[in-house]
Amino acid sequence: MGRAVLIILLSSILIFGIVSIQVNRSTSDAGTSVSNYYRDLYARNMANSMIEILRTKLFNDTSYRVKDFNSESILGGKVSYRLVDTIINSIRMIKASVIANYEGTAKMTEAYFVIESIGSGGVPPFLKYAVVSGRNLSFNGGVTITNAGNNLNANVHVNGNFSMNGNNNIDGFLTYTGNAWSNPPNALNTRIKPVQNPENLPVHYKTGTLTIPQFDPNEIKSKASEIYYGNKIFNGNITLGTKENPKIIYVTGNLTINGSITGYGIFVSLGNTIINGNISLTSPDPNVSNIGIYSHERLIVNGNVTLNAQIFSNNEVVFNGNAKVYGNVVSRESIVMNGNVTVYYKPTDEILTKPIWPVNQSGNIVQIKTVYLYE
């Protein structure tokens, strides 16, 4: 009996030892895996940070180039980089190559920059798109982004993630800083069709952040033609100004539009902006939008609405129903389009942007656009 107990005890000790070895080995492997993941992630962030540093250098000096690899110490590691001219599909680009090394883990990133001249006047760059979202952009249902018969690309840009679910179409390029997702999955390649793409560029790709400036309603109050304190509801037929003398309507609270609007003008709201029902904002000019709607808070469009307008919000923009926009839509936050929403891209008239975003600075204005980014 004592011998049997001894055998059982020795067997238990042996099994416990084997299990302990396995647990220690698994713990060690897990620790190594986490450590490797951290080093890989950190090296990736270092490489991406250097890409942004190079983009800033190009913005400050468009002639800046680095023919041979330079090395610098940043963020506790080392990066090597170079910046050279190249041509892809007949387009002049600047290729940035970066190799980041952190504690023995190396990560390589390449970016291709294009220097775009904006000029010293006109509308700001972020208003030269059909749709721009400062965060995320979602299409749900039958959303169509196209042009207003002017043969222009109805381009879409997202400073974040893009998703579309349903029968959606974009007659322009899609660019984003995060990720792009679609249902069905192949819709990103079959339902995005630029009207003009002579260089056969990718129809959607990851790019750099597009600057969307903060809109401060207080800066335009002194220019207003009419000021309404508190909430304001517009019903019936509303007539604004002329192209030479557009009317500026300023509301200190929430703005609700239920009627039809004609003429040239700008609506500014410090609160939310809600556009309801079967209304129409018509345009005397088929080539440009004639109404600017600027909301400090959320902007919501419900129902069978037709807007010949340039729409801008500091907050979220939501479309519900069968809305049609002849102009463009910009939000510093997210945009959600539900239902049969159609945006017919028309360039923004400069008379609607100058009171809010004057761009008459002397000298040439440029932006550095990241065309492709590989990680």
- Asked if 110 and 98 touch (Cβ cutoff 8 Å), the reply is yes
Say if residue 144 is in the same domain as residue 42.
no
Cα–Cα distance, 334 to 313 (Å, whole number):
10
Q: Tell me which residue of 267, 289, 294 sits closest to 343, measured CA to CA.
A: 289
Q: Which range marks the domain in which residue 258 is found? A: 122-200+212-352
DSSP codes of every residue in 93-148: EEEEEEEEEETTEEEEEEEEEEEEEEESSSS-GGGSSSEEESS-EEEEES-EEEES
Low-confidence ranges of the chain (pLDDT < 70): 1-32, 60, 89-90, 116-122, 277-288, 358-375
pLDDT in tens, 255-309: 999 878 888 899 999 999 999 866 566 655 666 678 899 999 999 999 888 888 8
- Percentages helix, strand, coil for the chain (3-state, rounded to 5) are 20, 45, 35
Q: Tell me which residue of 272, 346, 268 sits closest to 306, measured CA to CA.
A: 346
Supply the pLDDT for residue 317: 97
Say if residue 114 is in the same domain as residue 159.
no
Domain total for the chain? 2
Residue 278 counted as domain residue: yes
For 139, 319, 331, 351, the CA distances from 118, given in Å and listed in that order, are: 30, 31, 21, 17
Say if residue 106 is in the same domain as residue 141.
no
Residue 67 counted as domain residue: yes
Say if residue 291 is in the same domain as residue 332.
yes
Cα–Cα distance, 210 to 131 (Å, whole number):
12
Supply the pLDDT for residue 321: 84
Residue 127 counted as domain residue: yes
Supply the pLDDT for residue 120: 42
Residue 67 in tokens: 């023919």
Say if residue 73 is in the same domain as residue 151.
no
Say if residue 254 is in the same domain as residue 187.
yes
Residue 189 counted as domain residue: yes
Say if residue 92 is in the same domain as residue 49.
yes
């049997």: which residue's tokens?
4
Say if residue 92 is in the same domain as residue 236.
no
Supply the pLDDT for residue 365: 46
Supply the pLDDT for residue 366: 56
Residue 374 counted as domain residue: yes
Say if residue 278 is in the same domain as residue 178.
yes
- Asked if 359 and 338 touch (Cβ cutoff 8 Å), the reply is no
Residue 182 counted as domain residue: yes
Say if residue 234 is in the same domain as residue 223.
yes
Say if residue 95 is in the same domain as residue 237.
no
Say if residue 112 is in the same domain as residue 173.
no
Residue 19 counted as domain residue: no
Number of helices followed by number of strands (H, E) in the chain: 2, 31
Supply the pLDDT for residue 178: 93
Residue 221 counted as domain residue: yes
Q: Under 8 Å CB-to-CB from 222, ≥6 apart: which residues? A: none
pTM over 0.85: no
